[in-house]
Amino acid sequence: MQINNIIDFVDGLLSLFQIIVDIQRLDINISIGMTCRIIFFVVAIVFRDMRTYSIGEFIAQIVAWFIFHFYIIYYERIYFDKGESKTLEREKRFKLMDTLQLGIGTAYLAFNFDSLLELLALIFFSINVGFNIIELILIYCKNNHVPNYEKQGGYCQLMIGLLLGIFGVIFFLIYSATIYWDDISNQELFPHVLIITIIGEIMAFLLFAYLLCEHNAEFVWTQDWTKGILGILYGITVGLFSIFYGFLIGLIVVLYLSYQICKAYHKYQQEQKNNPQAVSTQEN
């Protein structure tokens, strides 16, 4: 693919390096996109006072990162599961996902910016959305593209990255709780939300750690360095932004445990009612 046919500037720069073959460029390009998202997490979430989040921003973040998680789980999973890379389709889907995420961020900032930094972010997002739309049009119109290829494995790196990302979220939430506890402990709702979110993240970490250990034969390590790096970065990004679903996971866990406790208590009450003497004997 010639450089003058490329509107994707990152891909254009990668094409200048002769040591990077065509089948590596897409994975490297997406890896750079994942690195930018990790930087966004650090700047926009870790270095920010969690008490300043508005409901509107929280909802916008959930929708934007739901799109990302859906893209990984539904589409890119095939690449890591079967090793088959339908290059043009992957390129289209990644660019579409990127455009939708940027579009949500741009729409939110357009109605809510109140600082010079947020105005600059709005301008940057708007420019990127414009370029992405042009890139999408060119991708759908171009006749020549990198052929499909196969790269086996990579699930193991993805799972390791996922555990690293979730562990980072757990550390961040616990650290933030210790820093802000005096300020938030007097609030009615926020401390409970924070605790439930931490529970959800811990349960998610334990679940994926169990899957990795118990079914390690199914999670194959790839020898291809570009796919391996992409898998780790995918996992870290998914794990970090699971922070927006941690509360839902924790709430499900709490409700499930409450249901099981109530079920066991109801069963005990029924047994005591039907056969009080037997229950009394068991207790003795």
Per-residue pLDDT in tens (0 to 9) along the chain, 284 residues: 333 334 455 555 545 444 444 557 788 888 888 998 898 888 878 877 766 777 788 888 888 889 999 999 889 988 998 888 888 889 889 999 999 998 998 998 888 877 787 788 889 889 888 888 888 888 777 766 677 888 888 999 999 999 999 999 999 999 988 888 877 778 777 888 889 999 999 999 999 999 999 888 888 899 888 899 999 999 999 999 998 888 888 999 889 989 999 988 888 888 777 776 654 555 55
pLDDT at 57: 82
The pLDDT value recorded for residue 139 is 78
Query: Which residue bears the tokens 């073959």?
Result: 21
Task: Supply the DSSP symbol for 221.
Answer: P
**DSSP conformation class of 215:** T
For the chain, the maximum distance between any two Cα atoms, rounded to a whole number of angstroms, is 87
- pTM, rounded to two decimals: 0.81
Per DSSP, the three-state class of 275 is coil
Contact 247, 173 (CB under 8 A): no
Cβ neighbourhood burial of 124 (10 Å; 0-12, 13-18, 19+) = middle
Q: Residue 229, Cβ neighbours under 10 Å: how many?
A: 20
* pLDDT at position 2: 37
pLDDT score of 23: 57
Residue-level pLDDT at 10 = 53
Backbone angles phi, psi at 52, to 5 degrees: -90, -5
